[in-house]
Amino acid sequence: MFKFNTPQQVFEIGNVKVGGQPGETPTVLIASIFYEGHHIVKDPDKGEFDAKAAED
């Protein structure tokens, strides 16, 4: 396994640790309902979306 020469940081989100050197913490996948071109996104630069459509 490889190791980064640059010092890595570990962050805790809730009770889940992310980051660090490869193998230091388990891999984490963060899902999102938003993706480029999705019909509920009104303005990606401003972060505006159709909340009603997101609930459906």
Token couple for 50 = 């159709």
Q: Give the number of domains in the chain.
A: 1
pLDDT, one tens digit per residue, over 19-29 is 999 999 999 99
Task: Kindly state whether residue 40 falls inside one of the protein's structural domains.
Answer: yes
Q: Which amino acid is at 7?
A: P
Q: How far is CA 2 from CA 8, 22, 26, 33, 39, in A?
A: 13, 7, 15, 32, 40
pLDDT, one tens digit per residue, over 1-20 is 789 999 999 999 999 999 99
Its pTM surpasses 0.85 = no
Range of the domain at 40: 10-55
